[in-house]
Amino acid sequence: MALRNIRRQGDPVLRKKAVPVTRFNEQLHRLLDDMVETMIKAQGAGLAAPQIGISKKIIVLRDEDKILEIINPEITESEGESIDIEGCLSFPGLYGEVPRSARVAVSGQDRGGREIRVSGEGFLARVLQHEIDHLHGILFVDRAVRLYTPEELQNLARKDKS
Ligand code: ZN
């Protein structure tokens, strides 16, 4: 396994539409292992392949202590609405208030090419939508209704407590 470089805001690969994966081979498995390692090292909740410069439909994410890998993910159902703060490994030090669906169901494939279905709500639903957006060249700043620096976020948390 190897750590990959995370592409930052302004890198054109983040705006490209990713292509579907057709070969479920050793090369894909190595890429998935690297993505998981890179996500964990960066303390991210999820990572999409374009974020390491690979314009393919692949996402990995953490669901509590479980790792999810979804190849060619598509949102098949979405329901409700939720606004919360999120960030992105490609935008260090920036946070935004982003409206998302509260619950989603996603279909895709596992690393062996078998059909899988993942459904989630709350934080998991948010991460799924954020990562799938990356595959369409959409970034959280496009959807954010407000952006925050870390200092502003801290002030906000302080206000919430008082
Ligand atoms: Zn992101």
Cα gap 80→28, rounded to integer Å: 34
Query: Rounded CA gap, 99 and 85, in Å?
Result: 9
Q: What is the mean pLDDT of each run of 10 residues along the chain (162 residues)?
A: 94 98 98 98 97 98 95 98 96 96 98 97 97 98 94 82 60
- 112 CA to middle of ligand 1, Å? 25
Amino acid occupying residue 99: P
Asked whether 153 and 85 are in contact (CB, 8 A), the reply is yes
pLDDT at 23: 97
Q: Which of 74, 81, 86, 131 is catalytic?
A: 131
Tell me the CATH architecture of domain 12-161. Alpha-Beta Complex (3.90)
Q: How far is the CA of 39 from the centre of ligand 1 (A)?
A: 11
Give the pLDDT score at 162.
57
Q: Which residues sit with Cβ closer than 5 angstroms to ligand 1, an ion?
A: 88
The pTM of this model reads 0.94
Our answer to whether residue 131 is catalytic in this structure is yes
